[in-house]
Amino acid sequence: MSKYFTYLTCFFLLLGLFGTNTVSATEEIWGEAESADSLTSPFQVVDDPNASGGQYIAAEPGSDSSPNPPSTGIATYTITVEEGGVYRIYLRVRCEAAGDGDDSCWVRMQGVTLNIPVRDEDWINNNNLDYDATDNSEEWFWSQVRHYGAWPMDDYIEMTIDPGTYTLEIAYREDGLLIDGFLITNETDVDLATLPDEIPAAGPEPVDPGTDGLVAHYPMDEGSGDVVADASGNGHDGIILGDPNNCWVEGAPGLQTRYNSFNHTECH
């Protein structure tokens, strides 16, 4: 089964029962880098127990396509957008030698409208990813896709996308960038520090907005942990994204959830 899929992320304003008219949703499209539809040389899949899914992709040592996007060394992914709107792309990456500037890849998704001009044929020069890195070259981190113009004036990419099916392409640029996974979302307030180390696994299909009756029931009385169970029997358990320790507060009848701009619950 493919490891990339679409989530609808639900922000709950009240505890307990909800219907489709009480949930506001944003779309999240997650993907494991190694689960590409196609992956051409010099890209290769590498095993790493610290990578999501135990693998990542990287260009073979010595590879470089800095001047221009390559014709090979491209990973492709089929992306289905359900909601439409303005989206951003985030990559989970590692810079093999932190601080040396060997930290870039090419990205493109044709058929969308970008907020700024980029390279020919819609290629984004996603450079300077070590801005978001630590001094530890063994540490994976999330980075928002940006287009390198003239340092340090990089601009983050926003894509206006209509509902439909698209192809995401990630091409190698420098061999020191290791790519673990991606997130495409229309969420406007993403805190990189709260994004998961493991790309979320696929859950049940998103609920049809026209569904009648009870969709899910969240008593939210667990009191701890990062799972909010669906008591309806429909299997739409939630995962708290953010620090679960900041989500549970004293209340009646016991520990209950609280929400802020950095914590939300993803319902499956």
In angstroms, the CA 170 to CA 105 distance is 7
CA angle 95, 101, 105 (to 5 degrees): 65
The residues facing 16 across adjacent strands are 218
Mapped onto helix, strand or coil, the DSSP state of residue 147 is: strand
Q: Count of domains in the chain?
A: 2
Q: Where are the beta strands (DSSP E) in 162-254?
A: 164-172, 177-185, 216-218, 227-228, 238-241, 248-250
Q: Are residues 232 and 261 in the same domain?
A: yes
Q: Does residue 59 sit in the same domain as residue 159? A: yes
pLDDT score at 224: 78
Assess contact for 72 and 41: CB atoms under 8 A: yes
Q: Tell me which amino acid residue 142 is.
A: W
**Which residues, listed in sequence order, are joined to residue 216 by a DSSP beta bridge?**
18
CB atoms within 10 A of CB 191: 13
* Domain's final residue, options 185, 220, 243: 185
Same domain, 147 and 208: no
What domain range includes position 223?
5-25+203-267
**pTM, 2 dp:** 0.71
Determine, yes or no, domain membership for 172: yes
Residues 88 and 117 in one domain: yes
pLDDT score, position 65: 96
Residue 141, SS3 per DSSP: strand
Shared domain for 73 and 19, answered yes or no, is no
* CATH number (domain holding residue 138): 2.60.120.260
- Whether residue 196 is contained in a domain is answered as no
The CA dihedral of 225, 143, 71, 65, to the nearest 10 degrees, is -140
Quick check: helix, strand or coil at residue 102? coil
Question: Residues 210, 103: one domain?
Answer: no
pLDDT of residue 242: 61
Choose among 27, 37, 31, 22: nearest CA to 3: 31
Q: What is the maximal distance between C-alpha atoms in the chain?
A: 62
Confirm if 36 and 184 have CB atoms less than 8 A apart.
no
Q: Which residues of the chain have pLDDT under 50?
A: 1-3, 5-24, 150, 252-264, 267-268
Amino acid 160: pLDDT: 97
pLDDT of residue 259: 43
> Phi/psi of residue 120, each to 5°?
-55, 150
Same domain, 229 and 241: yes
Do 15 and 115 belong to one domain? no
Same domain? For 141 and 217 the reply is no
**Domain check: are 145 and 225 in the same one?**
no
Indicate if 89 and 165 belong to the same structural domain. Answer: yes
DSSP H helical ranges for 42-191: none
3-state secondary structure of 265: strand
Same domain, yes or no, for 37 and 140?
A: yes
Q: Say if residues 171 and 36 touch (Cβ distance below 8 Å).
A: no
